[in-house]
Structure 1
Amino acid sequence: MPEEENPVQLYLVPTPIGNLKDITLRAIEVLKSVDVILAEDTRTTGKLLKHYEIQRPLQSYHIFNEHKTVEKLIERLKKGELMALVTDAGTPAISDPGFLLVRAAKDAGIEVNCLPGATAFVPALVNSGLPNDRFTFEGFLPHKKGRKTRIEALEDESRTMIFYESPHRLMKTLEQFAEAFGKERMASVSRELTKLYEENVRGTLEELITYYQENPIKGEIVIVVQGAGKQ
């Protein structure tokens, strides 16, 4: 384990978003050294650990139990347990569980260290060909309540906008974007990033709607939308 001036007790460890090779040497080192690994889905993380021959105890930590488990985990951290938090893919707390535990740890004076590593929106943004000097990450839109209001609030947003979306809501989202931002607004849709069938499709919102009407897709999706007034 790397030496630290103030020993870290909680590590946030990014995991590959697709290709298992996209993990850092330091991330592997940390995962091999901690007392327990907190995982969003122990089955998914178990496959990664098996691939890299990491044999550490796994504990479930996901959006449905994080409110109940944070207090108990903080008590264990205070007693000296060394923990690593991972999600199914990417960096913990980015549209995934993690925020509550990090906040509670900071409030309790526990050292937290987030390792750099994989996250889906960065390659999607760069691949989009849209301005990336200034951007806003919007994550997942609300499924129902507040969805229309959230989109309308972005009508005058001048920065490039980044969204996560599921395959079965992609068409609805593109149509709502076209209505709010204009069908000629440029955008990009990325799917299956780092995987064998990675695809990045760029065009106007109208062109993307037409494309995906003819080419239904599966897999994780990132939508990047041009900001208002950008050429």
Structure 2
Amino acid sequence: MKKETLIILLLFLSILNLAIISAQNSDVPGMDEAPLVNEIVEGQEKYQQFTDENRSEYLQKEWRALLEKNTIGKVFFKIFDILSPVFKVILGVDVISWAFFFALAIWLTLFLFLIHPAKAIFNSTPLAVIVAFIIASICGTSGLIRKATDMLSFVLQNKWIAVLALVITIILGLVIERLGMKLKKKIQKQKEESEKEKTARSQKIIQTHGKVSQKELESYERGAGI
């Protein structure tokens, strides 16, 4: 348990470090003087002039063009197209965006963390899946996932930092999922110990009743002269 906590702390510090690096890169002296940087800045300014709706449409066209190059990509995009309203409600972000992948990773982390303890509590995998899905989705619809994604918005300004942060987020999710499994085992162990105590208590009660009944029978036999 301590190892997983340490790993989570290290991964969190890694993401925080990415934020610092990203902020430092934007404030490097002389960067504005470089021609290439000026072109990039101009491009970013033009892109930022888009409304949120135009950005979404632009990204959607780019992704569609990329995915429609193969059959699997077409199917993948159609599925996302159908589920887009659902993702928007639960995750609070547009499907075609970097923020979506972060939000989805956070939702999956919550789901995987919750499903293991739920299995131990309800002793039913289908019920555990439903409970974990509902709780994780409530966290999404309440705006918690959107807020967490907004906190990570600093990494979305740089593609490579965004990819690295996404990888760290996935690893963090796997570590948290493992913590969920350990929590499940702990709950199961407590339930088993509780059942053993109940069984031992029941056996003791039965033995006590048996001894009392035997004494009463012996007393009756002596009184009856048997």
TM-score category, normalised to shorter length: under 0.3
Q: Which has more helix, going by share of residues?
A: 2
Structure 2-normalised TM-score?
0.21
Larger Rg computed on CA atoms: 2
The structure showing larger relative contact order (alpha-carbon pairs under 8 Å, at least 6 residues apart) is: 2
Structure 1-normalised TM-score?
0.21
